[in-house]
Structure 1
């Protein structure tokens, strides 16, 4: 009995400590295990000191306070128990003339190499703002990194962070960091006075790794609504850029950089720009751009690509299709100046070279070899709608020699990058028999509300003809999260409560499968 009593006492004590609230200011280190940590002034992890933040901790800033790091931080949450950083009152967040409604973000400034790596896993960064009368504070709404390597963000989300100038969520200068499996949503950089570079992420003089992230609804007033890099050689691999917006380069802008690594296996879908390059802009950049899919983007000039200022990108094995413009200049590609010399090899480009526009088209410097202009025949449904059908002209028609392309082993869907003798064009290799069904269920209307999903989200069905359906939810890599068993549904409207599941922030898919057929219906889900 005494042993049971002592165990119960310690269990109650542990729960009590975990549910507590602590206040912090000044120098911090050790371990945070409280339910809530209130930041009541600027805080600092001193050099050679370590702060560990346990899963589930909520770090709430009571005002515009900085989280300075001179030592090391380990903020490692779990998929179902994340760590959150946010401000207690967001009133005035979007007024860039004040610091109201926000916290000041993390600052890594010339971290000594004596400190070990800092890591953030399954963390949420919300409502950070970089503003001041002093321009040094205009960079990185949630995180500013300067001359500090060995920093990694994994499975994190960055939402509603803003900067007066560059890097709405993350600004990185002269630092080699890693950003992987993260979501960037509704971040913004720049004002009408100060052009912003990188609505979500801005890299300068940094050879970062940016891999398998999701950029959506980010914006900047200058370049790169999702991501902008300058004087850098980052590895940009297997990211999705969706519905981002900027003045130049709606999804991505590459500026004054030389290729050593590659921009590879990325999807650019429904991005837009005010002036140039709905999806991408290359400005005085010599970037290796391989096996990307650029579709449904829009701008005034160059719905897909804008190439200017003596840029010489090498573009191979890409699909550039269904991009639009509001002018008469280059629906897919605009080579704006006479000094740019882009090279195009083994791409599927709608309209072909004859549809290129801009002053550089007749300069004789553009290389255009072994490209095609044929409907890419996307699957159009399933988890990977821009994967090509088996009979697509983009299948097995990429460059025969992939030497020097720096290709990863897998495509954006996580399938083997080369499944047959020759690589496919675009960010997806043809899936073959990997499980993508063909055809869609025309007799079914499918949606989820609210979306981004909550514990109260509902699957809305409008069935035009009685049928049996099974539902699954998968992540962006096709991994099944939950399954709703096959059931008979009568004609008419139905509502099904979405199973209560804890999801990491990111993109998911709800898929309805009809019994005894290969037909499916897919709806995108967002989780915050």
Structure 2
């Protein structure tokens, strides 16, 4: 009887092993069966039931045709291929189920998506694109790029507008780890960059801006508003007219620009720079870094108003006969009345430099707050013709009194952090409320594909002092998630901030 039982148990274990092997084999087989290889002309719809779509060669959406990529689709690019859109592309992911387009290996190893339709507008919403040379390149082509994530590309978004300045909207996007620029715009004044976060660009260490504007003779006047541009290797925003003309005049408004080598660099470029918070732009140990704003070139006449500029090595660095307007009360225009806050810009030798003028031109800097109302103390923070007569004078009188200083629109006290990071069982996400305002605060957690896996909401009645939430590595359905990289995003009103954390089981 004992031998019969042992024989039965042995057979049962053998059957169990065969069942497990068969299950795994069928799972792999079904993945292979349902995967679709795509190449050549494509139109119609791609759906998540057919995942993954293996891109085994160059793809084209022909003129007058539409390809719709629906929520949850994964596209795996199998080589250095190009996705050309001569027709119209609708990539319609959702917050809960995004679209993921990436290569089959690490590194930058496929060409990206090239838009060529000059009439119709393509759409990318809730997409995550990785590993491309130019993740999205618009060649005179209208496009809306909303709620998308770009990670580890050479360039995330490249807008070319010579000959046809199509409408381009880039909104609520997260762009990180670009070898070159996050967003590169050539001669297009119909671009809006709104409420995006752009970080860790120029990883190849060549001098370039996270957002870079260029002109070869045509206008390039985009709107750059409400963005968080931080921790980039070189400039936060760069504008360069290579003709030395007056073709670049962006509106740069209500951005936070911080922890870059330079905050804003305008080289033969002008425009309006209004209500930005520009702080802590420098590289420790690098004396050639640290300008909150650098303006250069005789055709550079930008206007600065209502900005807060602090914590850099120098507030303004002005060269090559540039004539920025930091505040001018002598004319009838009220749009250039200064009201900037320029204070506590201190280099590593403990020198305070509010304005460093190496231009031969006199600079108007009236009606600003300098951290003090003592004129002698202010003059000590200004380098100009009083220090070397070959340079122009900085006119900083009259002063803006402390009682006239309005709190900048942007919050400086969120201090968004999580601890521990990496974490195994739980992590505490902590933050401060925004300047005492009572807005609803959301904390969203996304996986590495850009899919939201957890949402926390904090009502105004719960906001009191420093706040925190605990995340235990589970999704909305209390299901444990896999180890990996996750992103947590704080959002309130028009402000948002995103940071990375690592979950290790």
> TM-score if structure 1 supplies the norm length?
0.63
Over aligned residues, Cα RMSD in angstroms? Answer: 3.8
Between 46-55 and 292-301, the greater mean CA deviation after superposition: 292-301
Question: Across the two proteins, how many residue pairs are aligned to each other?
Answer: 371
Aligned partners of 2:443 and 2:488 also within 8 Å: no
Q: Does 1:318 align with 2:307?
A: yes
Aligned partners of 1:348 and 1:425 also within 8 Å: no
| Cα pair distance change 1:339/1:264, threshold 3 Å | closer
Q: Which of 121, 126, 129 is 1:122 aligned to? A: 126
Higher CA-based Rg: 2
Aligned partners of 1:450 and 1:458 also within 8 Å: no
Q: CA deviation at 1:527?
A: 7.6
Q: CA deviation at 1:26?
A: 0.5
Q: Which of 320, 325, 347 is 1:342 aligned to? A: 325
SS at 2:278's partner residue? strand
| Within-5 A mapping of 1:149-168 | 150-162=142-154, 168=155
Q: Which of 63, 67, 75 is 2:79 aligned to? A: 63
Q: CA deviation at 1:225?
A: 3.1
Aligned partners of 1:156 and 1:505 also within 8 Å: no
SS at 1:298's partner residue? coil
| Cα pair distance change 1:229/1:427, threshold 3 Å | farther
Q: Which of 34, 53, 61 is 1:20 aligned to? A: 34
- Moved segments of 4+, more than 6 Å: 16-19, 393-396, 502-506
| Within-5 A mapping of 1:37-436 | 37-90=53-106, 93=107, 102-109=109-116, 111-113=117-119, 116-129=120-133, 141-148=134-141, 150-162=142-154, 168-174=155-161, 175-176=165-166, 177-189=168-180, 199-207=181-189, 208-219=191-202, 221-231=205-215, 232-246=220-234, 250-256=235-241, 258=247, 262-272=251-261, 278-298=262-282, 300-310=288-298, 311-324=300-313, 331-344=314-327, 345-350=338-343, 355-360=354-359, 363-364=361-362, 366-374=363-371, 397=404, 424=406, 426-428=408-410
SS at 2:356's partner residue? coil
Q: CA deviation at 1:428?
A: 2.3
Q: Does 1:449 align with 2:421?
A: yes
Q: CA deviation at 1:45?
A: 0.3
> TM-score if structure 2 supplies the norm length?
0.65
| Cα pair distance change 1:293/1:483, threshold 3 Å | closer
1:3 corresponding residue in structure 2: none
Question: In structure 2, how many angstroms separate the alpha carbons of the residues matched to 1:501 and 1:308?
Answer: 51
More helix by proportion, 1 or 2? 2
Q: Which of 504, 508, 511 is 2:489 aligned to? A: 508
Q: CA deviation at 1:447?
A: 1.0
| Cα pair distance change 1:373/1:223, threshold 3 Å | same
Question: In structure 1, how many angstroms separate the alpha carbons of the residues matched to 2:37 and 2:97?
Answer: 21
Q: CA deviation at 1:204?
A: 0.7
Q: Which runs of 5+ in 1 are unaligned?
A: 1-15, 94-100, 130-140, 163-167, 190-198, 273-277, 325-330, 376-392, 399-423, 431-435, 463-471, 486-493, 512-522
| Within-5 A mapping of 1:513-528 | 525-526=499-500
Question: In structure 2, how many angstroms separate the alpha carbons of the residues matched to 1:227 and 1:244?
Answer: 10
Q: Which runs of 5+ in 2 are unaligned?
A: 1-29, 328-337, 346-351, 373-399, 431-440, 446-453, 460-468
